[in-house]
């Protein structure tokens, strides 16, 4: 029987996505902690575009006085509010292009993780993110990259089993956690989503980014590239 669900929608996946993202968050969390400021200061503002279930939003709330967290999926935002709410965070269901300087002001930091490969025009979206930064503001961008552009379902199944084997024999995780992660990775809905993703090859992703945010620092992560860039501050006369 064929599912009528949109495989690119996260609306039916909030709990599963949240748990999966939590279990595999170590590498990205380490990168974020390295690049995030220790404290944004009084009146500082951060933006999490494509916040999902808020797995990384809390890192911003610990450092900035105000955080706007936006996602297109209402079920994902509801899950975030229910399980990861914070007094500094304002959660909203919106398209990332609906967040504008005129409506929402400028931000000291913009985070966008694993979101831009879902938008139709990467370059336009990246320029939009840049426009939301105040002078001296920081952009942290992470997205999936792969030479194949679309990765077959069988590859993800194979990776899940290889990772499970390594988790057990190298004792990278407790057995129960390794089994839970394997089940999540083999979930049919999650496999539908991943195998229908359209992503950029790494070199092309880097080229597009450097055309919009020249001088950005780009770091390879597992099946992803992570970018840090700071908007120049106008020179004083």
For 166-204, the pLDDT digits (tens) are 999 988 899 999 999 999 999 999 999 999 999 999 999
Kindly compute the dihedral angle of the four CA atoms of residues 70, 73, 74, 79, in this order, to the nearest 10 degrees. Answer: -80
- Show the tokens assigned to 222: 């597992």
The 3-state DSSP class for residue 4 equals coil
- pLDDT of the residue at 235: 73
Q: Could you state, in order of their start, the residue ranges of all structural domains in the chain?
A: 14-149+197-230, 153-185
- pLDDT of the residue at 3: 44
Does position 4 have pLDDT exceeding 60, yes or no? no
Residue 164 and residue 182 in contact, taking contact as beta carbons nearer than 8 Å? yes
Specify the range with the lowest mean pLDDT, choosing from 30-34, 41-45, 139-143, 174-178: 41-45
Percent of the chain with pLDDT over 90: 85
How far is 70 from 50, CA to CA, in rounded Å? 6
Q: What are phi and psi of 204, to 5 degrees?
A: -70, -40
Query: What is 14-149+197-230's CATH superfamily?
Result: Vaccinia Virus protein VP39 (3.40.50.150)
- pLDDT of the residue at 8: 60
How far is 67 from 63, CA to CA, in rounded Å? 9
Backbone Cα Rg of the chain: 18
How far is 76 from 82, CA to CA, in rounded Å? 10
- pLDDT of the residue at 237: 60
């Amino acid at each position: 029987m064929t599912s009528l669900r949109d495989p690119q929608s996260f609306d039916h996946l909030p709990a599963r996505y949240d748990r999966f993202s939590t279990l595999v968050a170590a590498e990205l969390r380490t990168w974020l902690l390295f690049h995030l400021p220790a404290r944004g200061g009084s009146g500082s503002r951060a933006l999490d575009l494509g916040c999902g279930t808020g797995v990384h939003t809390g890192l911003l709330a610990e450092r900035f006085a105000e955080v706007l967290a936006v996602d297109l999926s209402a079920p994902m935002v509801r899950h975030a509010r229910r399980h990861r709410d914070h007094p500094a965070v304002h959660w909203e269901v919106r398209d990332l292009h609906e967040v504008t300087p005129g409506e929402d002001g400028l931000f000291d930091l913009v985070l966008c993780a694993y979101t831009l490969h879902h938008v139709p025009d990467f370059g336009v979206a990246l320029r939009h993110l840049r426009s939301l930064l105040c002078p001296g503001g920081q952009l942290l961008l992470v997205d999936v990259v792969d030479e194949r552009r679309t990765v077959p379902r069988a590859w993800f199944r194979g990776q899940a089993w290889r990772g499970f084997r390594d988790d057990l024999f190298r004792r990278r995780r407790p057995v129960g956690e390794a089994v839970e992660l394997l089940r999540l990775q083999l979930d049919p809905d999650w496999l539908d989503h991943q195998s229908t993703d359209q992503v950029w090859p790494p070199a092309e992703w880097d080229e597009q980014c450097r055309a919009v945010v020249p001088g950005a620092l780009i770091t390879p992560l597992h099946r992803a590239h992570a970018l840090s860039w700071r908007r120049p501050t106008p020179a004083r006369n």
